[in-house]
Structure 1
Amino acid sequence: SLFYSHGSPPVFFRRDHILFRDPKRRWVGQTLTQYLHRYPEAVRQQVVKAICDLLGKTLDWFEWPAIAIDMLTRVSDPRLWPLVARWASLNRGAPLTPRLLELAVRAAPNSIPLREAALSCLDEAIPDARWGDVIQALLPPVGSLDPIPPRVVGWVERHHRKFGVRFALGQLVLRGLPMAREWALIWLSDWWSERTANFILEPLARIAGSPPETASFGVEWIKCGHANAGMLIKLLLRSFGRDVCILESGCAWLATTPVSDKTWTVALEHLVTSFPNDPRVEKAARTWLNTAPAEHGSWQYLWGELWKAFPKDEGLVERARWWLNTAPAEHGSWQYLWGELWKALPKDEGLVERARWWLNTAPAEHPSWVFLWGELWKAFPKDEGLVERARWWLNTAPVEHGSWQYLWKQLWTTNSGDESLIREAYQWLATAPKQHHSWAFMWSDLRMIQSENRELDELGRRFLEVTAPRHPGRSMVESALAFGGKSVVLGLEPLTFEKPEWAIRWIQRVGGDRSQTDLAATHSLGLAWLNSSFEYRLWASVFLRLWPVVALRDQLVPLGEAWLRRHPDGRRADDVRAVLAMRKAGEEGGQSTS
């Protein structure tokens, strides 16, 4: 029997059939389901089975859908799928049928009985937003090659002028159905001012070749002052560029909408990007920067856009100093803001002091730690405080960190012969994963210092044993071992990265006829060169030579973005910007509307 008591869940004893004695009482099932998370697993499974049995025997129970929905929100049990399919097929017009089907199809998107029942129900379904939710559950993901179910298209076509079709129609637009664009424009001609019309407008603005009517309807909708219009303003600016009508409606929306609107800063960011010199946009951005908390995700972006339009502006300098003094050291954009000020105010005492604080505070795994240290190191070579902090980093940073060899080499250049650095290098080689892109370079650097060392030779042979034949660093280690310690790597030694002719020799090398192994090693060496400094004259040329190597893209993208921040007008900067923009456009192409 079942035992009920106030304040505690019902407890199963022996005869679970007691559950079926009075199926007219809703509390029997709901009391059990609300306590499922508190049962021991064995009891929980027993309760789920009992409720599934109850649902299977009482399809005419008036509380059936309420109990089934409660179950679907708490458990994912395959026994529920055929039960839901049967009940929905018998109760197509019931108010809770769409909610029941939506939950079940989302939980089991590949269940054939469920999908067939849901699609069959669409033949008689009214144009209601709840059925639109069912359709969204039935649709393949955006960008998928799977076809859109014909019954879904038929339901939208029959009702494309009805208000309740908006969510489903917007999803068909996103999935590139040609007819859906026409239906969407017809729908907007009747409903463009409605609060949720953005669920049609945003998909239209996202797709390639957005019809010009999208901008007209979108501007009018923004003028209505609806909440969350910032995303549409962003999408319209992306699709239609510097349109004055979008600017006017966007500025009016910013002026009348509370800053607390979750899309307010989205609109401001993209208005600043498109119209940084418009006095209304500039004023809104400066006001926001003076009041927003330092931890806000849009702060550094808006400051950066204004900084491009008004470089060395005293107000922006002052506000950036405030941000650097307020934001936590772990913030991902700390180095970016500091770096922008550093370019405008080199060797500024306040910036030097704050950078030293940051190096003493930020965690070693912060992706910008080595970069910022390197900037100070260029300005103050051999500075004892920087040497000390670099030694701390070498002993603290994860061995997987991509910049370990670079930082070690910077210290070695000014402290050659330091035995402690040699010991740290050996320790790193022994513990770092052999697949690390700098392992062979670190080994080669150490090999040039100690050309005859059994421990080093053994580490090199171990590297050759565990790495794949096409590993980019193998030829470097093999050649050094084969030639008794004389590095003949790629014909580029003994040139150092700092030599101007290094990049020229590398470009000649990568353009020649090489074996796949040799070419991979050349690519790896080029990547290491890019990592070593952003100040080389031919940096962009080497970057662009490496860009076609798809396997390196994930490493090249952040390097290219960082280089552009430092050299927005540098040699071949437009070419670097273009390839990064193409990559970004490809990634965004498959995103769905919010």
Structure 2
Amino acid sequence: MPEVDAIAWEWASRGSYESGSWLKLKNFMPRTIRAIPEQAELARNWLTTVQPEHPWWTAIWQSLRHRSPSDENLIRHGQRWLATVPLDHRHWITLWLSLWNNNSNDTGLIKSGQERLAGDPPEHESSPNMLGQQPHNNPRDPQLFSSGISWLVNSDQTNKSWPNAWRCLWTEEPGHPELARLGSQWIDKISMLQGSWALVWQALLAANPQDENLNSYGPRYLQEMPIANVSWPHAFALFWRTTPGNPQLEDLCVLWLKHAVDHPHWIAAFDPVWQTGRHRELLVALAQRRLQQQPEGKDVDRLNEILAEEMGASAA
């Protein structure tokens, strides 16, 4: 009933935020906004009657945006909200990103984004998400880029958002000297087993493939990684593509193949080493052992093919 719905919205604007009934209403109304046109109209009116700091404001606005992403009135409501609430509001970045994704050339959004990045404490973990939102078919904004580098310089490098922010900026300008310096510092300081370590290392090496220090990380990385780690053979393949034929990598891989015969991705490490033509006797024995322990699986055909070719070559 429209009258009851209107009363519910009126109560939502005045009720205690801690009330159990209010919280139930909060969880229910965003769903009805998407499904019932009349609820959407009530929600629009509600946005203009409550204070911007109302803890439900952004949730209702997002629900309306989901229903009508190009609605100019909603965009204006969002812009006014950004200009009204403090920059450190916990939902500020979420709403800013929602507007930015639809209009990355908006000078007002660029300015407010710069202000947010400049004023954010370095330990804040959300602001770096703003750095990756510049569409790659548009020229990057130099001030936003500069603010991003300042954030990297002033932030604790153990901040879990640091590598994501670095990669966003590196994508915009691969090889940037200051980013290269900061990235090199980061991979020196952070554990190689940190989730993004290999991605930062790979990006740096792609820009400077002859760097001896960067190339030295491959064997050290594999030595630190537990043998049972599901990503070990994929990490080896990554380093092998970068420095094919590296004898240290090859020796580490042969050792790993001996101790990880039951690893689900064993073939991913076996194949590159087999292609070198070295360690044939040992690798044949390991392939046979693998087939005995794992008679079924996606690598069985490949191993049988290898063994058949080897037997044929030996017979000839």
* TM-score relative to the length of structure 1: 0.45
1:159 counterpart residue number: none
1:190 counterpart residue number: 7
Unaligned runs of 5+ in 1: 1-182, 488-594
Q: Report how far residue 220 of structure 1 moved.
A: 2.3
Q: What is the aligned length?
A: 299
Structure 2 residue 69 is the aligned partner of structure 1 residue 241: yes
Structure 2 residue 81 is the aligned partner of structure 1 residue 264: no
Per-residue Cα deviation, 1:537-566 (whole angstroms, up to 9, x for no partner): xxxxxxxxxxxxxxxxxxxxxxxxxxxxxx
Q: Report how far residue 378 of structure 1 moved.
A: 2.4
Q: In the aligned structure 2, how far is the partner of 1:401 from the partner of 1:327?
A: 31
Q: 1:460 to 1:280 in 2, by over 3 A?
A: same
Q: Secondary structure at the residue paired with 1:274?
A: coil
- 8 Å contact 1:204–1:211 — kept in the other structure? no
Q: 1:295 to 1:309 in 2, by over 3 A?
A: farther
Residues 224-239 of structure 1: pairs in structure 2 closer than 5 A: 224-225=50-51, 226-228=53-55, 229-239=57-67
2:300 counterpart residue number: 474
Alignment partner of 1:440 out of 267, 281, 293 = 267
* Percentage identity across paired residues of the two chains: 21
Q: 1:326 to 1:280 in 2, by over 3 A?
A: same
Q: Which amino acid aligns with 1:481?
A: L
- 8 Å contact 2:104–2:134 — kept in the other structure? yes
- 8 Å contact 2:257–2:270 — kept in the other structure? yes
Q: Secondary structure at the residue paired with 1:484?
A: helix
Q: Report how far residue 298 of structure 1 moved.
A: 2.4
1:214 counterpart residue number: 39
1:250 counterpart residue number: 78
Q: Which amino acid aligns with 1:483?
A: E
- 8 Å contact 2:170–2:179 — kept in the other structure? yes
Q: Secondary structure at the residue paired with 1:483?
A: helix
Q: In the aligned structure 2, how far is the partner of 1:270 from the partner of 1:398?
A: 40
Q: In the aligned structure 2, how far is the partner of 1:408 from the partner of 1:344?
A: 24
Structure 2 residue 117 is the aligned partner of structure 1 residue 289: yes
Q: Which amino acid aligns with 1:405?
A: F
1:543 counterpart residue number: none
Q: In the aligned structure 1, how far is the partner of 2:138 from the partner of 2:87?
A: 24
Per-residue Cα deviation, 1:559-591 (whole angstroms, up to 9, x for no partner): xxxxxxxxxxxxxxxxxxxxxxxxxxxxxxxxx
Q: CA RMSD in A?
A: 3.1
1:315 counterpart residue number: 143
Q: Report how far residue 315 of structure 1 moved.
A: 0.6
Q: 1:200 to 1:276 in 2, by over 3 A?
A: farther
Residues 419-438 of structure 1: pairs in structure 2 closer than 5 A: 420-432=248-260, 434-437=262-265
Per-residue Cα deviation, 1:72-114 (whole angstroms, up to 9, x for no partner): xxxxxxxxxxxxxxxxxxxxxxxxxxxxxxxxxxxxxxxxxxx
Q: Secondary structure at the residue paired with 2:35?
A: coil
1:366 counterpart residue number: 194
Q: In the aligned structure 2, how far is the partner of 1:485 from the partner of 1:334?
A: 52
Q: 1:252 to 1:345 in 2, by over 3 A?
A: closer
Q: Which amino acid aligns with 2:211?
A: D
Q: In the aligned structure 1, how far is the partner of 2:225 from the partner of 2:179?
A: 24
Q: 1:328 to 1:460 in 2, by over 3 A?
A: farther
Q: Secondary structure at the residue paired with 2:262?
A: coil
Q: Secondary structure at the residue paired with 2:310?
A: coil
Unaligned runs of 5+ in 2: 16-21
Q: Report how far residue 384 of structure 1 moved.
A: 0.8
Per-residue Cα deviation, 1:468-489 (whole angstroms, up to 9, x for no partner): 61x22222222112221799xx
Q: Which amino acid aligns with 1:406?
A: A
Q: In the aligned structure 2, how far is the partner of 1:232 from the partner of 1:198?
A: 13
Q: Which amino acid aligns with 2:240?
A: K
2:19 counterpart residue number: none
Q: 1:214 to 1:208 in 2, by over 3 A?
A: closer
Residues 19-98 of structure 1: pairs in structure 2 closer than 5 A: none
Q: Which amino acid aligns with 1:292?
A: D
Q: In the aligned structure 2, how far is the partner of 1:454 from the partner of 1:368?
A: 37
Q: Report how far residue 330 of structure 1 moved.
A: 4.3
- 8 Å contact 2:96–2:109 — kept in the other structure? yes
Q: 1:476 to 1:382 in 2, by over 3 A?
A: farther
Residues 437-516 of structure 1: pairs in structure 2 closer than 5 A: 437=265, 439-450=266-277, 453-467=280-294, 469=296, 471-484=297-310
Q: Secondary structure at the residue paired with 1:227?
A: coil
Q: In the aligned structure 2, how far is the partner of 1:394 from the partner of 1:486?
A: 34
- 8 Å contact 1:289–1:319 — kept in the other structure? yes
Q: Report how far residue 208 of structure 1 moved.
A: 9.1
Q: Secondary structure at the residue paired with 1:293?
A: coil
Residues 366-445 of structure 1: pairs in structure 2 closer than 5 A: 366-399=194-227, 400=229, 402=231, 403-410=234-241, 412-413=243-244, 416=245, 418=247, 420-432=248-260, 434-437=262-265, 439-445=266-272
- 8 Å contact 2:236–2:269 — kept in the other structure? yes
Q: Secondary structure at the residue paired with 1:265?
A: helix
Q: In the aligned structure 2, how far is the partner of 1:209 from the partner of 1:242?
A: 15
Q: Report how far residue 239 of structure 1 moved.
A: 2.2
* TM-score relative to the length of structure 2: 0.80
